[in-house]
Amino acid sequence: MKVDKGYITYGGYGPVHGINPQGQDIDLTVSHWRWEGVGGVVFVNNQPWVYTSSWDNSNNKGYIFIRPWGDKNSIVIEAAAVSVHVVYVNNEFVVAFNDDRGQLKVVKVPANAQRVDLTNPQAPNANNRPTSPTSPAGSASIIATKNLGNGIIPDVAFYQGKLYIAVDNKLYSSSYDLSDVTLVKDFGDSGFPRLTVHNNVLWMAYR
């Protein structure tokens, strides 16, 4: 479950739902195979957008979906993401994600990139789902990639203009281009970290 400015997203490993500040519960799932991981809410000019991740067994590919709250038409980024965080900066979405093999990637995509309807497999563009979004302003582009090593499954979060990366028992911060990764704190004997930002505070949970 994720909470941001009164908007709640919950579910995952199946359908994803959302509750707005007025208490209305709606189905936010956009993949027609009905399997998504809870990502979070990102605000675009004070309007809520939702991002989730998913894996499509039919073509053995993973995706990140970004769309306005309640809208089924999504920006689609091909990504085998087990952790993902999205921020909106200068009319672009900056997306950090990592896979289950320690590969960390940061990409950006214009907020006006093409959005497609994936809820209906017979809809235009849905039978041939794009592997990356297209847009008159350009498609998703890679800002940086970093291999953290096999068996490493980090978690990522944007906070106050920096990307924070939790790896096992350590927390790092970096610019979006991963050029200056710096150790923030070593928590000692810990593991399986998770990061989140709530009420403008960065939180890290671990065990």
Pairing mode of beta strands 170-174, 162-167: antiparallel
Give which of 191, 196, 194, 195 is closest to 207, Cα–Cα: 191
Per the structure block, which two tokens stand in for 124? 């235009």
Per the structure block, which two tokens stand in for 130? 């794009």
pLDDT per residue of the chain (207 residues) written in tens, 0 to 9: 888 999 999 998 899 999 999 999 999 999 999 999 999 999 999 999 999 999 998 888 999 999 999 999 999 999 999 889 999 999 999 999 998 888 899 999 999 999 998 876 555 444 444 433 333 334 688 999 999 877 677 889 999 999 999 988 899 999 999 999 999 999 887 778 889 998 889 999 988
Per the structure block, which two tokens stand in for 102? 């320690």
User: What is residue 65's predicted lDDT score, i.e. its pLDDT?
Assistant: 95
Q: pTM for this structure?
A: 0.85
Residue type, 128: N
**In residues, how long is the chain?**
207
User: What is residue 101's predicted lDDT score, i.e. its pLDDT?
Assistant: 84
Interatomic CA distance for residues 72 and 191, integer angstroms = 36
User: What is residue 126's predicted lDDT score, i.e. its pLDDT?
Assistant: 41
| pLDDT per residue as tens digits for the range 127-174 | 444 433 333 334 688 999 999 877 677 889 999 999 999 988 899 999
What percent of the chain clears pLDDT 90, i.e. is strictly above it?
A: 63
